[in-house]
Amino acid sequence: MKKSLKRKNIFPKGWTEQRTRRLISYYDRQTDEEAVAEYELSGKVHAQTVMTVPTQLVPAIRAFIVSRVAQRRGAKRAPAAVRKHASV
């Protein structure tokens, strides 16, 4: 009996090989000047912050963010899968 070989999706949810290749192509063709301009513009976004945190805290931080989003949308609790990962 032959087994069909199905390719395992190695991309994040919502991503495909085609989308990944387009992104790689975009950055491969970007000039140094364009890269600098994009980088400088990214620092001007006022509603976001980038910070370094210990890796072991990442699951708790993700769970906190999801719970806050759920609260804003009117849900009473974060999804069970998120609550499970919240305990560090």
Q: Is residue 35 part of a domain?
A: yes
Q: Is residue 59 part of a domain?
A: yes
Q: What is the pTM of this model?
A: 0.42
Domains in the chain: how many in total?
A: 1
Q: Look-up: residue for tokens 């919240």?
A: 86
pLDDT in tens, 3-49: 667 777 788 888 999 999 999 999 999 999 999 998 888 777 677 77
Residue 5 has φ and ψ, to the nearest 5°, of: -90, 105
Beta carbons of 75 and 86 less than 8 angstroms apart: no
Q: Is residue 71 part of a domain?
A: yes
Helices assigned H by DSSP within the chain: 17-29, 32-42, 58-72, 80-86
What pLDDT score was predicted for residue 85? 52
Q: Is residue 47 part of a domain?
A: yes
Segments forming the whole domain that contains residue 79: 17-86
